[in-house]
Structure 1
């Protein structure tokens, strides 16, 4: 994959949220376009590239759209980053940002964010059953607890406002929660239950289903652009 096919890329994860600490990895996420001609052969082009040095994930445009339309929190945050966190922005990348609201739907936002948070809570419970935590496991527990709270907080904000706020206003509150859960993993469950009630009681401006038409139109422009680019002498 040549670098010029990357449409949009930026810094995500703990650095974006304001939860990074000294020694934290810098995570990057991006969308790329495979050559359109490659879709006409026997084998589909590769859908994702993942590296660990540096920590970078790139999804092909169609795969990223499917993930985002499904409510995937990690994929979706790419189009809500503060401007300073983007490292690659192309005209097609800006067009993708412009249709970001079309990707959203109330049920998928709720199911995805609470679903991921519930998975985190289960991991924390499993660790508690295993007994006292060694230092490295305690640090992982605190990290997972921070991200459980973040998923709940950001998900409810997106559900109630239709906008995803990436940068946390009070990251220290999330760090403090992580430490409390590291001391007692059972502390995670009251927070999760409170957010479940908040989702139940909230009214969302989001539609029942995402609006796929603008996303489909964007993807077709990507395919047309990268076919024309190949055909040019």
Structure 2
């Protein structure tokens, strides 16, 4: 189901999160992520334009083009998935959005991908560690299982991206992720071996990614966006 976004000049938008991963269950939220462009004239005024819009009911996050690029160049897993979605999960596609998809490999670099994906997975593990021995409320157990699923997914997707230069959004065996989440909800220490396993795998595998992303290609795209939305004498 397509949802009209209350932000103009959207370049690319799609369904992300658990629905895209194949991990959604009845009652799961449907998350959407997108990129928009501010009018170029607004970049020259006294006050910088808003860089992100976050909505709820339904859940949508829309980043301005430059901010999205900076996050993606840093290897941010959350924003990165937008340019690797299956075709049927895109709800808004424009020529500039398609250009961005074609440039997705330009954002990648070995160290940033490793640091970002393992870093996010480690953050998930730290959250799990603070949850104690599993003797907590049903709601907390549910959140713990969710964080554990994300830890496993981030590790798997990060290693795939690091070693192949490709990112598969939908997980291969959703039930294994749910089983892992339930296991960790009962005992948070169950997540530690998996994190250690993937840290060792990153160490043992050579990356196909370059040492630095291709910022020139990314900047050239961003300048095309600015030129496209340049309307002299207007501010909206």
Q: Does 2:32 correspond to 1:11?
A: no
Q: 1:128 aligns to what SS in structure 2?
A: coil
TM-score normalized with structure 1 length: 0.96
1:176 corresponds to which of 163, 168, 179: 179
Q: Does 2:120 correspond to 1:140?
A: no
Q: Does 2:107 correspond to 1:91?
A: no
The residue number in structure 2 matching 1:156 is 159
Paired residue total = 230
Q: 1:127 aligns to what SS in structure 2?
A: coil
The residue number in structure 2 matching 1:203 is 206
2:82 corresponds to which of 75, 78, 81: 78
User: Structure 1: how far apart are the matches of 2:86 and 2:233?
Assistant: 33
Check whether the contact 1:6–1:88 (CA below 8 A) recurs between aligned residues. Answer: yes
Check whether the contact 2:39–2:231 (CA below 8 A) recurs between aligned residues. Answer: no
Check whether the contact 1:35–1:230 (CA below 8 A) recurs between aligned residues. Answer: no
The residue number in structure 1 matching 2:126 is 122
The residue number in structure 1 matching 2:188 is 185
CA RMSD of aligned residues (A): 1.4
User: Structure 2: how far apart are the matches of 1:198 and 1:110?
Assistant: 11
1:112 corresponds to which of 109, 116, 120: 116
Check whether the contact 2:13–2:93 (CA below 8 A) recurs between aligned residues. Answer: yes
Check whether the contact 1:149–1:191 (CA below 8 A) recurs between aligned residues. Answer: yes
Unmatched 5+ stretches in structure 1 = none
Offset from partner CA, 1:129-179 (integer Å, 9 cap, x none): 6x6111110111100000000000000000010001001111111111001
User: Structure 2: how far apart are the matches of 1:2 and 1:16?
Assistant: 22
How far is the alpha carbon of 1:229 from its aligned partner? 8.6
The residue number in structure 1 matching 2:70 is 66
Q: 1:30 aligns to what SS in structure 2?
A: strand
Check whether the contact 2:41–2:231 (CA below 8 A) recurs between aligned residues. Answer: no
Q: Does 2:48 correspond to 1:21?
A: no
CA 1:24–1:209: 2 relative to 1, 3 Å: same
Q: 1:94 aligns to what SS in structure 2?
A: helix
CA 1:230–1:26: 2 relative to 1, 3 Å: farther
**Runs of 4+ with >3 A deviation:** 1-4, 228-231
CA 1:229–1:58: 2 relative to 1, 3 Å: farther
Q: Does 2:230 correspond to 1:223?
A: no
